[in-house]
Amino acid sequence: MRETAIEIHQVRAFLAVAEELHFGRAAERLEIAQPPLSRTIRQLEGELGTRLFDRTTRSVTLTPTGAALVEPARAVIEATDAAAESIRKAGAGLIGTIRVGFTTAAGGQYIAQLVRASKERNPGIDFVLETDVYTPDALPRLVDGTLDLALVRADALPTRLEGRAVVRESPVVLLARDHPLANRAELTIADLADEDFIMLPGNPSPPTRELFFHWFFAAGLRPKVVQEAPDSLMIASLVATGLGISISLDQAIAHVDSERLVTVPLAVDHPPMLMQLAHREQDANPALAQVLQTADEALPTVG
């Protein structure tokens, strides 16, 4: 069977004549002269091997074959126009998919703000949100492209990544409200030497846990971990029962709502930690550029 090679401009020409039933008006609609339009229709009829129109000096009517072609032609034009519009929007970053990694306790509020602002500005951009993605996992996934954006705790980012700090975090001690140390204005590592601790899991060990242990080891102490918990929210729930205390970062537990808990600043010789919104340098995804522009407006910046 011979394949037909119908071009889009031929379909547009056919549809214009079929809807106008007048070559002059169809030519005006297509913004071309009438002779080229007539040639295009003859070429299409030759390609299909059948007449599409009956022409007289006074009228143009569709043949049965032509009438049968109208709806398929409309579908082709609609699909072509939709595809062209999708390509245009994708190229402009108005549609696309952004994969985001973060931890809910520390970064959930910022990602929620970003998604809301992005949806208001560019509703065609979709987000795939992955929670419980800690910095050691997030950084290599940004590099290899399985994440587009991530909230990470890092003062410096690896090669090929860039970002900006959106929040500064300081260490605090999380205690049950009736704990003997709960009324202190500030605590030191030495004050916590005999306490039972609830911590994030040690395998794999998140950077914050390693840092907390480093502070104890530097003071010649070792924390007594009586229970591990998968995230800051579960840690807070366990602390509220009186099982033990925990060290956390203020932003990680800023939204823990419990009348049974208090936080006390922990005095350590360490600068505040930065949480950065990180992404690949010179990323080619136009949608990411739109999201980053929105982030500049929707999220805070700290130095």
In a domain, 119, yes or no: yes
Nearest to residue 275, comparing CAs of 189, 156, 152, 185?
Answer: 152
**Statement to judge: residues 249 and 176 lie in one domain:** yes
Residue 1 pLDDT class (50, 70, 90 cuts): very low
Q: Are 167 and 300 in contact (CB under 8 A)?
A: yes
Residue 87 pLDDT class (50, 70, 90 cuts): confident
Enumerate the β-bridge partners of residue 100: 129, 149
**Statement to judge: residues 38 and 77 lie in one domain:** yes
Domain boundary (75, 91, 107) is at: 91
In a domain, 3, yes or no: no
Q: Domain residues for 289? A: 96-168+273-298
Quick one: how far is CA 79 from the chain centroid?
27
**Statement to judge: residues 207 and 258 lie in one domain:** yes
Q: Are 151 and 107 in contact (CB under 8 A)?
A: yes
**Statement to judge: residues 162 and 211 lie in one domain:** no
**Statement to judge: residues 81 and 122 lie in one domain:** no
The per-residue pLDDT for range 16-70, each reduced to its tens digit, is 999 999 999 999 999 999 999 999 999 999 999 999 999 988 899 999 999 999 9
Q: What is the mean pLDDT of residues 254-272?
A: 88
Domain boundary (91, 121, 141) is at: 91
Predicted pLDDT of residue 284: 86
Nearest to residue 187, comparing CAs of 174, 202, 169, 204?
Answer: 174
The per-residue pLDDT for range 182-194, each reduced to its tens digit, is 999 999 999 999 9
**Statement to judge: residues 118 and 154 lie in one domain:** yes
CATH code at position 69: 1.10.10.10
In a domain, 303, yes or no: no
In a domain, 251, yes or no: yes
Enumerate the β-bridge partners of residue 169: 273
- Per-residue DSSP letters for 204-265? SPPHHHHHHHHHHHHTT---EEEEE-SSHHHHHHHHHTTS-BEEEEGGGGTT---TTEEEEE
Per-residue buried b or exposed e for 235-248, using 16+ beta carbons within 10 Å of the residue's own CB: bbbbbbeebbbbbb
| Structure-derived torsion over alpha carbons of residues 175, 180, 185, 187, reported in degrees to the nearest 10 | -70
**Distance of alpha carbon 299 from alpha carbon 107, whole angstroms:** 11
Q: How many separate domains does the chain show?
A: 3
CATH code at position 206: 3.40.190.10
Quick one: how far is CA 212 from the chain centroid?
31
Straight-line distance from the first to the last Cα atom of the chain, in angstroms, rounded to the nearest whole number: 70
- Whether residue 302 is predicted with pLDDT greater than 90 in this model: the reply is no
